[in-house]
Amino acid sequence: MTDDRFWPPRGFAALDPEHSDYESSRVVILPVPYDSTASGWVGAREGPAAIIDASENMELYDIGIGREPYCVGIHTLPELAPHAGGPEAMLERIEEVVAELLDDGKFVVTIGGEHTVAVGAVRAHARRTPGLSVLAFDANADLRDSYMDTPYSHACTLRRALECLPAGRHGAPVVLVGLRSAEREEHEFIQDRGLPFYSPREYRAAGPESIAAQLADDVYITIDLDAFDPSQVAAVGTPEPGGLLWDEVSELLETVARRRRIVGFDVTELAPSLGPRANAQLAAKLTYRLIGLAVRE
């Protein structure tokens, strides 16, 4: 009994069943409320619910890109249950579920939770898309080999991602934009490997086209929301001044969508209680716009 006297059921963008049932939807939202390895301030496990709640306030025509992303169908799964036994088992669960969804022909959008969840999603995509590049938005290098006694900490996300992206290929395995915090060892690792990691200032100098040019044809995008300036997203565990602005991120995503094929993405690290609700609204709109850019009718 749900007619037009009711709001639509809860789910990303508050879509009616026609545009959100699993079968006919091209896009699947996978919420992963996991933050067990968090080291700074806490609460990313509440991120998926906050982003979905905020998305229900969006108007469905994205005037900024002139599209209605929901038309391809967006299904919202229930939250993936955290595996409390440790991050390795949790990443396996994420990889397994993402893989099943990909094999079912879906475009998968993973909503964190901490940035670690990206490792599971990247692995599933990388195994199905040889030569994949990862475009990362992040304030931190996330290149530690191990942190707090585990190689599966959020601080190791891109180190683990690199390991499943083989070298000897067209395009960089990982390109990072937004960098402004690292340990000395990570800085040296970047220098030694010649990784294309850009601070906001360096990104402004290089421009979006030159970023896109370094990516392979198929691109997975992983977004740690702390890449944004804290004025735009304060609600993250490790906010860092001097970050990217909405228009800058949006322009880069538009450029990459025009030049490459986006095969999947994640949006992570929103800890909603650490900032105003407007931060969840930004994350929702970002997710919605990126669906519109990546998945065409």
Residues between 11 and 70 that touch its own copies (CB under 8 A): 22, 35-43, 45-46, 49, 53, 57-61, 63-64, 68
Does position 79 interact with its own copies (CB under 8 A)? The reply is yes
Does position 4 interact with its own copies (CB under 8 A)? The reply is yes
What does the alpha-carbon distance between residue 124 and residue 98 come to, in Å, rounded to a whole number? 6
Q: Is 234 exposed, middle or buried (0-12, 13-18, 19+ CB in 10 A)?
A: middle
Strands 27-32 and 74-76, bridge-based pairing: parallel
Among 51, 97, 158, 165, binds its own copies (CB under 8 A): 97
- CB burial string 157-172: b at 16+ within 10 A, e below: bbbbbbebbeeeeebb
- Collapsing DSSP to helix, strand or coil, 220 comes out as strand
Among 77, 117, 257, 262, binds its own copies (CB under 8 A): 77
x/- contact string, 133-152, with its own copies (CB under 8 A)? -------x------xxxx-x
Does position 100 interact with its own copies (CB under 8 A)? The reply is yes
Q: How far is the CB of 271 from its own copies (least distance, A)?
A: 9
Q: Is 1 exposed, middle or buried (0-12, 13-18, 19+ CB in 10 A)?
A: exposed
Closest to its own copies by CB, 22 or 205? 22
Q: How far is the CB of 224 from its own copies (least distance, A)?
A: 14
Does position 153 interact with its own copies (CB under 8 A)? The reply is yes
Does position 167 interact with its own copies (CB under 8 A)? The reply is no
For its own copies, which stretch binds (CB under 8 A), given 75-83, 124-132, 164-172, 207-215?
75-83
Q: How many residues does the chain have?
A: 297
Per the structure block, which two tokens stand in for 83? 């595996």
Q: How far is the CB of 8 from its own copies (least distance, A)?
A: 6
Does position 130 interact with its own copies (CB under 8 A)? The reply is no
What does the alpha-carbon distance between residue 5 and residue 56 come to, in Å, rounded to a whole number? 17
What does the alpha-carbon distance between residue 149 and residue 136 come to, in Å, rounded to a whole number? 24
